[in-house]
Homo-oligomer: A and B are copies of this chain.
């Protein structure tokens, strides 16, 4: 006759709970794909009951968008704040930017799963599309600024149109290699993608980006 006891819980701050729910969402999608991201699965992962999601987010779609935003910020920051990206000559920082983009933890199957799942949604969802557009530009603009600075530094300043093309091309090769490294991890030796990426951006821009002694 006795119903099971109501589960104990702690009251958390709104921002803490939101962060937890976002983190749980990202874990579920990265491990099992977008189709697995149901409110019940996410709530279970966050160790709360499903009703709480709607208490903090107006809909599941709203939570997904917040998770997308969070993930892209996290990924961008992981590159922008990596070692060698924040100090040194412009060429050093550009090299560090490319290396960081093509090394763990940025190259990671889970992050590719997140990226592909969100992109698939963004292609038919206006809100998510805006997030995609914004984060794409943010990353590419950072890359373009570094390339511009490195070219100026070596007395090879380039006009805006050429800078744009170099940034698009460099961003393309970084994105492509990142994707392949995350989607087929066993395909590439340790450091191989980073080396290929660095050589590629060097060939595209004409810059000498010999990498520093990271290996050994």
Contacts and interface: CB of A to CB of B under 8 A. Distances in A.
A174 interface: yes
A176 interface: yes
Contacts of A109: 123
A33 B165 CA distance: 31
Contact of A119 (B112, B136, B171): B112
Contacts of A179: 175-176, 179
A121 interface: yes
Interface string A117-158: 101111110000000110010000000000000000000000
Contacts of A99: none
A183 interface: yes
Residue among A112, A120, A171 having the largest count of chain B Cβ atoms under 10 Å:
A120
Contacts of A184: 132-133, 136
Given A34-B35, A184-B136, A169 B200 contact: yes
Contact of A117 (B120, B188, B197): B120
A169 B173 contact: yes
A117 B173 CA distance: 21
29 contacts: A32-B124, A109-B123, A113-B123, A116-B117, A116-B123, A122-B183, A132-B183, A132-B184, A133-B184, A136-B180, A136-B183, A165-B196, A165-B199, A168-B180, A168-B188, A169-B173, A169-B200, A172-B172, A172-B175, A172-B200, A173-B173, A173-B200, A174-B176, A175-B176, A175-B179, A176-B176, A176-B179, A200-B204, A203-B204
